[in-house]
């Protein structure tokens, strides 16, 4: 096999490699850890592609060489690691070393079996005439591959379990359709090369993940203004209540303590809102210190109780938020409900400031008496 033959036979795969690397370099929304994992997956797929091509070349030899069993064992070893790295892309934070080891244990444990199989004949082996022969554990590589494929599929289901049904089905299509192609490869009489399947999957997968993270505010992790407008117009018929929230005195925090302190305040508020919004509410950050919640399939009592929990939780922090809510009436739009909620929120903000000023005067009077 020469370089030109390798290039022409794998041109599509190499083109996709280049495309992913370009996307990794210009993507602004994707977390750095996810970029590193995607790059690692691409590197492993590229190594697997080279190993597969070399192993295919050794099949043309008249007699068995050392390299064919070695390359076959390397292929078997690489597939689970590729799937494992792709699985970790959807894990939000780095796992501890012992959890990583536990997940990788099946893939690591079978490697000695693969590389010694030419002597033990356990998995597969090759005659002197360079013909493949199965061993009693011939299906072990496929079983390990299936194990990590199931891990990959389950992790993706968990990753988007709280997302809208439409988004979940898009990812299910991207993930499960290539997985469904694996049995077709196994039923084929041709040598199995998953490189094109892997690379095509990861291109679509990375594009989806990139677009997914582009929907979120980078600082708070809440849905951003663009998604807010999209949901307002496309899902208006399902929205029952709008809640408007504003963080008081953010400018004072930024001016007095720096923007890092302001960022901490915004992240704290976002954490409280996410914690108590409930499964029927969706939280958006639509401005510097402005947040909105849309509620679906709830009554007024549910909204009031959720706001009460948020207020109670905010009292445990150094920050104060003003709240207002409104129902989307049948003759009004979601925009109207947001405007009504804003008015309620500004009234609440006025009452909070009056209360704070009264407390300040009371403290001053008490201090003068002392």
CA torsion sign for 63, 64, 67, 69 is positive
Q: Which of 213, 248, 272 is the last residue of a domain?
A: 213
In this structure, is residue 220 part of a structural domain? Answer: no
Q: Are residues 161 and 259 both part of a single domain?
A: no
CATH number at residue 271: 3.30.70.270
Q: Are residues 241 and 198 both part of a single domain?
A: no
- How confident is the model at residue 184, as a pLDDT? 66
In this structure, is residue 124 part of a structural domain? Answer: yes
Q: Are residues 63 and 134 both part of a single domain?
A: yes
In this structure, is residue 96 part of a structural domain? Answer: yes
Give the H or E element holding residue 211: helix 195-213
140-159 and 67-88 helices cross at what angle (nearest 10)? 10
In this structure, is residue 279 part of a structural domain? Answer: yes
Q: Are residues 249 and 123 both part of a single domain?
A: no
In this structure, is residue 218 part of a structural domain? Answer: no
Q: Are residues 209 and 247 both part of a single domain?
A: no
Contact between residue 309 and residue 321 where contact means Cβ atoms under 8 Å apart: no
Q: Which of 190, 213, 236 is the last residue of a domain?
A: 213
In this structure, is residue 55 part of a structural domain? Answer: yes
Q: Are residues 52 and 122 both part of a single domain?
A: yes
Q: Are residues 230 and 195 both part of a single domain?
A: no
C-alpha span between 115 and 367 (Å, rounded): 82
C-alpha span between 79 and 341 (Å, rounded): 54
- How confident is the model at residue 191, as a pLDDT? 57
- How confident is the model at residue 365, as a pLDDT? 64
Q: Are residues 209 and 244 both part of a single domain?
A: no
Contact between residue 266 and residue 274 where contact means Cβ atoms under 8 Å apart: no
Q: Which of 158, 192, 213 is the last residue of a domain?
A: 213
Q: Are residues 67 and 188 both part of a single domain?
A: yes
Q: Are residues 164 and 80 both part of a single domain?
A: yes
Nearest 5 degrees, angle CA 286-CA 290-CA 295? 70
Q: Are residues 207 and 344 both part of a single domain?
A: no
Which parts of the chain have pLDDT scores under 50?
none
List strand residue ranges (DSSP E) for 177-261, in order: 241-247
- How confident is the model at residue 47, as a pLDDT? 92
- How confident is the model at residue 111, as a pLDDT? 97
Domain that holds residue 268: 225-369
Tally of structural domains, the chain: 2
Q: Are residues 144 and 292 both part of a single domain?
A: no
């Amino acid at each position: 096999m020469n370089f030109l033959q390798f290039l022409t036979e794998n041109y599509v795969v190499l083109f996709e490699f280049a495309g992913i690397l370009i996307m990794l370099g210009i993507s602004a929304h994707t977390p750095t850890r996810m970029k590193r994992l995607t790059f690692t997956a691409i590197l492993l797929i590229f190594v697997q592609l080279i190993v597969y091509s070399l192993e295919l070349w050794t099949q043309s030899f008249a007699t068995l060489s050392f390299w064919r069993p070695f390359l076959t064992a390397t292929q078997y070893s690489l597939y689970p690691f590729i799937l494992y790295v792709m699985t970790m892309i959807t894990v939000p934070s780095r796992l501890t070393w012992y959890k990583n080891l536990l997940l990788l244990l099946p893939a690591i444990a079978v490697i000695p079996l693969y590389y010694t199989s030419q002597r033990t004949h356990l998995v597969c082996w090759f005659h002197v005439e360079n013909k493949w022969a199965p061993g009693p554990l011939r299906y072990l590589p496929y079983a390990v591959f299936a194990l990590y494929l199931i891990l990959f599929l389950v992790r993706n289901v968990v990753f988007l379990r709280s997302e809208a049904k439409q988004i979940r089905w898009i990812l299910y299509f991207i993930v499960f359709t290539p997985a469904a192609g694996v049995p077709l490869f196994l039923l084929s009489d041709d040598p199995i090369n998953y490189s094109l399947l892997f690379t095509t999957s990861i291109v679509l997968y990375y594009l989806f993940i990139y677009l997914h993270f582009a929907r979120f505010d980078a600082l708070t992790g809440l849905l951003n203004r663009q998604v807010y407008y999209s949901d307002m117009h496309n899902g208006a018929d399902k929205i029952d209540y709008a809640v408007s929230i504003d963080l008081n005195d953010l400018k004072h925090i930024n001016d007095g303590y720096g923007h890092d302190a302001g960022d901490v305040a915004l992240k704290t508020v976002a954490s409280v809102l996410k914690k108590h919004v409930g499964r029927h509410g969706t939280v958006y950050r639509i401005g510097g210190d402005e947040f909105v919640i849309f509620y679906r399939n709830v009554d007024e009592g549910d909204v009031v109780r959720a706001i009460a929990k948020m207020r109670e939780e905010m009292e445990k922090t150094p920050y104060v938020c003003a709240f207002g809510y409104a129902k989307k009436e049948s003759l009004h739009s979601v925009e109207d409900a947001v405007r009504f909620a804003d008015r309620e929120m500004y009234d609440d903000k006025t009452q909070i400031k009056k209360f704070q000023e009264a407390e300040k005067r009371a403290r001053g009077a008490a201090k003068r008496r002392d």
